[in-house]
């Protein structure tokens, strides 16, 4: 556990870009590049090489889903809430402090998006992935929900430091699919969880101890699904400027078909605060274990009165089509039980396959149970008559 100092001596050269792609009619992605010390979220030329201060820096990509404007709403809510949470209070004092704040910010974003979706029937089913990197001194944390990705290039080695929470990745890890088979797998768009689709989420937290010259790439699956990893590596090796790298990666995804929205952030880390990479300093996927949190620290979503749903007569044709696709193409596999209390970031998703888990609340409207419509007095007489008939029949049988 390292105490945070001023953060001087560490600089970042960063740029981010998002593109609607070639197929979609609107962009549901959002990204976040924020200097938490100065409390700015700008990509103006003067903000592309900020020194990392005592609060650190935030880089993230959120890929929304939900149709019409709902996906865009979910991803925008996610980046706004996460940013707002991490600029509040005193600066983090050590790595555990920053890591816990990052996880709690992502969890709160999921909870608030879930409540927004419950409160507004036109946004039912909206959600978003979130791959959020937070930097403090030389340590980079990555909080992951969904299947957007984070990679680190060190030297000529290009390594994914996040883990896709998707069905296809689960099958690959179980040895039931190869990487080649996964590219043409029929259900490769099914994700295990997303912010807003359940009351709680399981955040996968990883970390990288950065070296001088490391480059970070955070992207939505609009890039990683269209451009192979070795091609992304080639672009980062051949294009040192972050702005030009973002443009080239986006262009390549569009040339490959641009089937989805494309969002990418490229950052390069430098300065005397970082060591030069040693020959054996390899980057890998590394889980970060947070100390156990007290049960009463668990944040729960406040109850929202749910309006009855009769079908969205005012929803657009695209919203209806997207809602149908979400029920099939974004099935939540092994979703977290909303009654499970404090979640362990290391617990693997369960094996069951189901839709997004229903949320039960005592605040929901009562259910009307249909009856025969007869007056209660008539029903009582009928029941009494039936009982007398049974009693007489029993008496006659005994005789």
Question: Can you tell me whether residue 246 is helix, strand or coil?
Answer: helix
Within the chain, which residues score under 50 in pLDDT? 1-7, 295-371
User: In terms of C-beta density within 10 A (0-12 exposed, 13-18 middle, 19 or more buried), how is residue 244 classed?
Assistant: middle
Residue 150's nearest CA partner among 270, 286, 25, 259 is 286
Query: 10 Å Cβ neighbour count for 399?
Result: 4
CA distance 364 to 305: 6
Spatial neighbors of 23 by CB under 8 A, at least 6 apart, are 257, 258, 259, 260
CA distance 113 to 193: 13
pLDDT tens-digit readout, 100-116: 999 999 999 999 999 99
Residue 131's nearest CA partner among 163, 99, 85, 96 is 163
Q: Dihedrals φ, ψ of 317, to 5°?
A: -65, -35
User: In terms of C-beta density within 10 A (0-12 exposed, 13-18 middle, 19 or more buried), how is residue 300 classed?
Assistant: exposed
pLDDT tens-digit readout, 286-318: 999 988 755 444 444 443 333 333 334 444 444
The whole-number pLDDT of residue 39 equals 93
What Å distances lie between residue 384 and 371, 376, 377, 389, CA to CA?
19, 12, 11, 9
Contact 105, 53 (CB under 8 A): no
CA distance 147 to 165: 6
The whole-number pLDDT of residue 320 equals 42
Q: Is the pTM of this model over 0.85?
A: no
The whole-number pLDDT of residue 2 equals 39
Helix axes 229-238, 242-255, angle to 10 degrees: 150
Contact 262, 149 (CB under 8 A): no
- Regarding the domain with residue range 11-297, which homologous superfamily does it belong to in the CATH classification? PPM-type phosphatase domain (3.60.40.10)
Sign of CA dihedral 269, 275, 280, 284: negative
CA distance 143 to 139: 13
């Amino acid at each position: 556990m390292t105490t945070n100092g001023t953060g001087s001596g560490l600089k970042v050269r960063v740029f981010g870009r998002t593109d609607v792609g070639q197929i979609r009619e609107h962009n549901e992605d959002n990204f976040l590049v924020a200097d938490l010390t100065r409390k700015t979220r700008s990509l103006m030329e003067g903000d592309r090489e900020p020194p990392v201060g005592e609060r650190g820096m935030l880089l993230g990509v959120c890929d929304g889903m939900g149709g019409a404007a709902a996906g865009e709403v979910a991803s925008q809510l996610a980046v706004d809430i996460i940013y707002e949470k991490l600029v509040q209070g005193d600066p983090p004092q050590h790595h555990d402090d920053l890591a816990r704040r990052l996880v709690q910010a992502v969890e709160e974003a999921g909870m608030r998006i879930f409540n927004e979706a419950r409160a507004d029937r036109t946004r039912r089913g909206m959600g978003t992935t979130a791959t959020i990197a937070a930097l403090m001194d030389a340590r980079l944390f990555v909080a992951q929900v969904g299947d957007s990705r984070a990679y680190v290039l060190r030297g000529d080695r290009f390594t994914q430091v996040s883990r896709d929470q998707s069905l296809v990745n689960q099958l690959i890890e179980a040895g039931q699919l190869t990487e080649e088979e996964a590219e043409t797998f029929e259900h490769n768009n099914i994700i295990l969880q997303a912010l807003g689709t359940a009351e709680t989420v399981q955040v996968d937290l990883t970390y990288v101890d950065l070296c001088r010259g490391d480059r970070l790439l955070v992207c939505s699956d609009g890039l990683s699904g269209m451009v192979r990893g070795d091609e992304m590596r080639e672009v980062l090796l051949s294009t040192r400027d972050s702005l030009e790298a973002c443009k080239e990666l986006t262009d390549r995804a569009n040339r490959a078909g641009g089937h989805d929205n494309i969002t990418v952030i490229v950052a390069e880390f430098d300065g005397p605060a970082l060591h030069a990479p040693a020959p054996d300093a390899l980057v890998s996927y590394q889980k970060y274990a947070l100390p156990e949190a007290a049960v009463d620290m668990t944040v729960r979503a406040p109850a929202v009165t749910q309006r009855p749903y009769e079908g969205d007569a005012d929803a657009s044709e695209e919203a209806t089509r997207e809602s149908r696709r979400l029920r099939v193409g974004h099935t939540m596999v092994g979703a977290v039980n909303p009654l499970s209390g404090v979640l362990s970031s290391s617990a693997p998703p369960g094996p069951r396959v189901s839709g997004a888990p229903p949320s039960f609340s005592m605040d929901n409207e009562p259910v009307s149970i249909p009856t025969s419509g007869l007056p209660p007095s008539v029903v009582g007489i009928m029941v009494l008559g039936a009982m007398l008939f049974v009693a007489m029949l029993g008496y006659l049988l005994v005789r």
